[in-house]
C-alpha cells in the first residue's frame, strides 16, 4: 500500500433508518425502497447495486407501499393519497386521493393498465394507469375491517386482499367479493392479521399472518392446501420467484424461510414443501422481492441484503450510502458531515511528531466540532457543500436552498451569517460542489438546471447555466459532479451514463464520453490532465482532457482486469489520487480501498490481488503510518468496514471516514427474543 499518515474518522454517527417497503422494476432492473423518514431511494441493480437518486419526503407524508408500472413509480400512504413520482425532477408528479382513509397497500396488474389500492376502511380502489395517466376508475364493495395487503391475479380479472381474520377474492368486473376465506386463530378472542399475500398464475394464494404461519390456499375452491408454522412471530412479507416454484417468507422472526413446489408422481399433483433457511438479518424483515435468481430483503436494520442459493451468496448494503454525504475542505482542514436532518463541520486534529515505531500516533490537537446546523422540522437535507477556504457553506433541503457566510468569531468559534445566491432565483438542489480553487460553485437543481456561480469573499453570484431542460447537454438527472485542479474543467454525469466535460475558459462542452451500458458511480479529475470514471460494472476508464480519448493505461486495463476486482458487487463511491505519485489511483467502496499502480502491468485475470497491511486502529480519530506492500502490483487491496469516504489532505495525510457496524447495531430496537442452546 501507500506510505502515509491516516486520519481515522469514526465520529460520523449515522442513524440507521428502517426500510418499510420494496418494489422491483424488471425491465429497468431498478429497485425502489422507502425509509422510515418516508424518503424513497431508487437503486440501480443492473451492475453493482447503488443508489441512483433519492426522492425526499414531503411534509407529513408517509410511504406504506410502492409499485412500479412501465418505468413509473407509485406510492400509497397514511395521507390517503396515491402518489406518482417524477424521477427526473425528484419530486411528486401528481397526487390522487383514495376513498376512505389511509392507504396501506397497492399493486399493479400484470398488463400494467390498472392499479389497486387497499384502504383503512375496507375499500379497494381501482385506478387506470394506462397511457401515462393516473385516473380514478372504480371502487369495489366495502368489507368490514382494514385491508392490509393486496395482490392481482396474473389474469387481471381478480384481486386478492388480506386483513383481519379473512382473505377475500374480488371480481374486478362486478366489484363483489366472490369468496371469503376464514383463517384460524392461535388464541380465542385474538384476531389473526393477514399481513402479506401473493398469487400464482394457477391461483394458488400464499399468505403470511400474525400467528407465524405461511399458508397456501386454492383460490378456485377457497380451501387451504397447506399450512406451515414457519416462524415464531408475525410473517410480514412473502414473495414469489419468477418461475413461481419458490416462495420466500420472513417477518418479526427474521429467518428467511423458502418453500419449494415439488411434483408428487404417485399422486399426480404438486405440493409445497419447506426448503432452505437463510439467516441474513437479525431484526424484523419487512419487505422482500425477487430479481432473477437473487432475493432482495430489507427491514428494521436499514440494510438492503442480496442473497441467493445455490450458489450460496450474500451481500448487505448498509444505510450509509449517501452521495456527497462527506466533503473535505483541504485548505481549512475541515470536514463536512451530512445527515438526513442536520450537518456538522469538524476541524481535523494534528499528530505529534513521528514516533520510532509505526502505528497510532498521539494527537497534539484533538478534532473539534465547529458548528452544527439542523433542517426545519419536517424537512430533510438533500445536499450540502463547503468551500475550500471554509468561507461559504451551502445546503439544500427539500423545499429551499440556503447559503451562509462563515467568519471567524471569538474563541475560534465560527460565526454564520445568512446570505443568498445572487443573480437567479434559488431552487432546491440534489447535488452541489465548490471548486477546489474556490473560483466557482456548481449546483444541480431538482428542476433540471446545472448552474455555475462565481464565488468571492463578498458574494456568490450566478455566472451561467450550462445545462437546462430547454437546452439539454445531458438526458437525465445529474448524478455526479467534478472540477479539475486549477478549476479549468467541469464534468457532470447523469443517471443514464451520459458524461460531459466543459472547459471553464469558454463554458462550452469540450467533449462527451461514449455512453457505457452501466451507470457511473464515481468520477474525479487527475492533475488537470485526465478524467477517471468508474462504472457500476467495475469498469475503469481514464480520459485525456486535451483530446477526449482514452489513455493507453485505460485501454491496457480494459483487457486485463483481475477477476477479483471485476466480480465485486459493491460500487466504487470515490476516486482520489496520491499527490506525490502521479501513477497511483486510489478507489474505494463500502469495505475496500484499492490502490492501482499505473506503472505496473496487471497480472493474469485469475491471479490473487495483494493485500495491504491491516493495522490495529483506535476508536478515536488518530493518524496511522501504514507500511507499503513489498510486492508491487497493479492492484493492491485493503479491507475496511463501512468505508464512507477517503480523500487526501495535503501531501502526506489520507482522511478515512468509517461507520462502525457495531454503532449502527447499538441504535436499533431490541430483536425478537428466542431461546438458543437450550437456554
Instruction: Give the C-alpha distances (Å, rounded to integers) separating 120 from 176, 300, 376.
Output: 18, 23, 30
For the beta carbon of residue 269, count every other beta carbon within 10 angstroms. Answer: 9
Partner residues linked to 273 by β-bridges = 260
Same-domain status, 379 and 440: yes
Same-domain status, 308 and 340: no
pLDDT at residue 636 in the model: 83
The answer to whether 465 touches 427, Cβ cutoff 8 Å, is no
Q: What is the domain-level CATH number for residue 227?
A: 2.130.10.10
Q: Is residue 673 part of a domain?
A: no
Q: How confident is the model at residue 634 (pLDDT cuts 50, 70, 90)?
A: confident
Cα–Cα distance for residue pair 368/413, rounded to 1 Å: 10
Same-domain status, 307 and 357: no
Q: Which of 47-61, 313-327, 629-643 has the lowest mean pLDDT?
A: 629-643
Cα–Cα distance for residue pair 569/304, rounded to 1 Å: 13
The answer to whether 630 touches 611, Cβ cutoff 8 Å, is no
| pTM to 2 decimal places | 0.93
Same-domain status, 328 and 313: no
Q: Is residue 143 part of a domain?
A: yes
Final residue of a structural domain among 435, 454, 472: 472
Same-domain status, 131 and 218: yes
Q: Name the residue among 568, 496, 502 with its Cα closest to residue 531.
A: 502
Same-domain status, 313 and 327: no
Q: How confident is the model at residue 632 (pLDDT cuts 50, 70, 90)?
A: very low
pLDDT at residue 355 in the model: 57
Q: Is residue 395 part of a domain?
A: yes
pLDDT at residue 604 in the model: 57
DSSP secondary structure string, 47-88? SS-EEEEEEPPPTT----EEEEETTEEEEE-TTSEEEEEETT
DSSP-assigned letter for residue 15: P
Same-domain status, 266 and 388: no
User: Residue 436 pLDDT > 80, yes or no?
Assistant: yes
Q: Is residue 582 part of a domain?
A: no
Final residue of a structural domain among 274, 302, 317: 317
* The total number of structural domains that make up the chain: 2
Q: Is residue 189 part of a domain?
A: yes
Q: Is residue 576 part of a domain?
A: no
pLDDT at residue 22 in the model: 98
What is the average per-residue pLDDT within 571-587? Answer: 92
pLDDT at residue 608 in the model: 57
Q: Name the residue among 207, 33, 51, 223 with its Cα closest to residue 215.
A: 207
Same-domain status, 396 and 285: no
Q: Is residue 418 part of a domain?
A: yes
User: Residue 610 pLDDT > 80, yes or no?
Assistant: no
Q: Supply the range of the domain harboring residue 231.
A: 19-317
Same-domain status, 241 and 335: no
Same-domain status, 366 and 307: no
pLDDT at residue 2 in the model: 61
Same-domain status, 278 and 344: no
Q: Which of 197-211, 280-294, 546-560 has the lowest mean pLDDT?
A: 546-560
Q: Is residue 284 part of a domain?
A: yes
Instruction: Give the contacts of 145 (CB within 8 A, at least 6 positions apart).
Output: 122, 163, 164, 165, 166
**What string of H, E and C letters represents the secondary structure of 553-595?**
HHHHHHHCCCHHHHCCCCCCCEEEECCCCCCEEEEECCCEEEE
Same-domain status, 283 and 354: no
Final residue of a structural domain among 263, 294, 317: 317
User: Residue 524 pLDDT > 60, yes or no?
Assistant: yes
Amino acid at each position: 500500500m501507500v506510505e502515509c499518515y491516516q486520519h481515522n474518522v469514526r465520529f460520523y454517527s449515522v442513524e440507521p433508518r428502517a426500510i418499510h417497503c420494496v418494489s422491483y422494476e424488471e425491465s429497468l432492473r431498478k429497485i425502489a425502497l422507502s425509509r422510515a423518514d418516508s424518503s424513497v431511494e431508487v437503486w440501480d441493480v443492473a451492475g453493482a447495486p447503488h443508489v441512483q437518486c433519492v426522492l425526499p419526503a414531503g411534509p407529513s407524508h408517509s410511504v406504506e407501499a410502492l409499485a412500479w408500472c412501465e418505468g413509473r413509480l407509485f406510492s400509497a400512504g397514511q395521507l390517503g393519497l396515491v402518489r406518482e413520482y417524477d424521477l427526473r425532477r425528484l419530486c411528486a408528479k401528481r397526487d390522487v386521493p383514495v376513498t376512505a382513509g389511509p392507504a396501506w397497500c397497492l399493486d399493479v396488474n400484470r398488463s400494467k393498465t390498472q392499479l389497486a389500492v387497499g384502504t383503512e376502511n375496507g375499500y379497494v380502489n381501482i385506478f387506470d394507469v394506462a397511457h401515462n395517466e393516473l385516473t380514478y376508475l372504480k371502487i369495489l364493495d366495502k368489507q368490514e375491517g382494514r385491508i392490509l395487503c393486496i395482490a392481482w391475479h396474473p389474469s387481471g380479472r381478480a384481486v386478492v386482499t388480506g386483513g383481519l381474520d379473512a382473505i377475500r377474492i374480488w371480481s374486478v368486473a362486478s366489484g363483489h367479493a366472490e369468496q371469503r376465506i376464514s383463517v384460524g386463530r392461535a388464541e380465542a378472542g385474538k384476531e389473526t392479521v393477514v399481513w402479506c399475500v401473493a398469487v400464482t398464475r394457477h391461483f394458488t394464494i400464499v399468505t403470511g399472518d400474525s400467528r407465524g404461519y405461511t399458508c397456501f390456499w386454492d383460490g378456485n375452491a377457497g380451501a387451504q392446501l397447506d399450512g406451515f408454522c414457519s416462524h415464531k412471530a408475525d410473517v410480514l412479507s412473502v414473495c414469489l420467484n419468477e418461475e413461481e416454484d419458490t416462495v420466500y417468507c420472513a417477518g418479526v422472526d427474521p429467518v428467511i424461510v423458502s418453500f419449494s413446489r415439488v411434483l408428487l408422481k404417485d399422486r399426480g399433483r404438486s405440493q409445497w414443501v419447506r426448503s432452505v433457511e437463510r439467516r441474513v438479518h437479525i431484526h424484523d424483515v419487512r419487505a422482500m422481492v425477487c430479481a432473477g435468481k437473487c432475493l432482495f430483503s430489507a427491514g428494521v436494520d436499514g440494510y438492503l441484503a442480496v442473497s441467493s442459493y445455490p450458489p450460496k451468496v450474500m451481500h448487505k448494503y448498509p444505510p450509509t450510502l449517501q452521495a456527497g454525504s462527506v466533503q473535505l475542505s483541504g485548505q481549512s482542514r475541515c470536514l463536512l458531515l451530512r445527515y438526513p436532518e442536520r450537518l456538522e463541520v469538524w476541524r481535523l486534529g494534528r499528530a505529534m511528531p513521528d514516533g520510532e515505531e509505526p502505528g497510532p500516533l498521539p494527537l497534539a490537537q484533538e478534532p473539534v466540532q465547529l458548528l452544527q446546523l439542523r433542517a426545519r422540522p419536517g424537512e430533510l437535507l438533500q445536499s450540502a457543500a463547503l468551500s475550500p477556504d471554509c468561507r461559504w457553506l451551502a445546503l439544500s433541503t427539500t423545499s429551499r436552498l440556503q447559503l451562509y457566510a462563515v467568519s471567524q468569531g471569538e474563541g475560534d468559534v465560527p460565526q454564520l451569517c445568512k446570505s443568498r445566491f445572487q443573480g437567479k432565483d434559488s431552487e432546491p438542489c440534489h447535488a452541489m460542489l465548490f471548486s477546489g480553487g474556490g473560483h466557482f460553485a456548481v449546483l444541480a437543481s431538482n428542476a433540471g438546471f446545472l448552474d455555475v456561480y462565481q464565488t468571492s469573499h463578498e458574494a456568490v453570484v450566478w455566472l451561467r447555466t450550462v445545462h437546462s431542460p430547454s437546452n439539454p447537454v445531458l438526458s437525465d438527472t445529474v448524478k455526479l459532479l467534478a472540477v479539475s485542479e486549477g478549476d479549468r474543467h467541469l464534468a457532470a454525469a447523469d443517471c443514464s451514463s451520459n458524461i460531459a466535460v466543459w472547459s471553464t475558459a469558454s463554458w462550452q462542452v469540450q467533449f462527451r464520453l461514449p455512453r457505457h451500458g452501466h451507470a457511473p458511480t464515481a468520477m474525479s479529475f487527475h492533475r488537470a490532465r485526465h478524467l477517471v470514471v468508474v462504472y457500476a460494472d467495475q469498469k475503469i476508464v481514464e480520459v485525456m482532457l486535451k483530446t477526449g480519448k482514452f489513455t493507453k493505461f485505460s485501454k491496457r486495463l480494459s483487457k486485463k482486469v483481475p477477476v477479483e476486482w471485476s466480480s465485486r458487487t459493491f460500487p466504487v463511491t470515490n476516486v482520489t489520487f496520491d499527490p506525490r505519485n502521479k501513477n497511483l489511483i486510489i478507489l474505494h467502496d463500502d469495505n475496500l480501498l484499492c490502490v492501482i499502480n499505473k506503472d505496473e502491468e496487471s497480472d493474469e485475470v485469475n491471479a490473487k490481488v495483494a493485500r495491504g497491511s491491516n493495522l490495529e486502529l483506535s476508536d478515536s480519530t488518530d493518524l496511522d503510518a501504514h507500511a507499503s506492500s513489498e510486492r508491487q502490483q497493479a492492484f493492491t487491496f485493503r479491507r475496511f468496514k463501512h468505508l464512507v469516504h477517503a480523500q487526501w489532505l495535503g501531501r502526506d495525510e489520507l482522511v478515512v471516514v468509517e461507520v462502525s457496524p457495531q454503532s449502527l447495531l447499538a441504535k436499533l430496537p431490541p430483536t425478537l427474543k428466542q431461546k438458543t442452546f437450550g437456554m
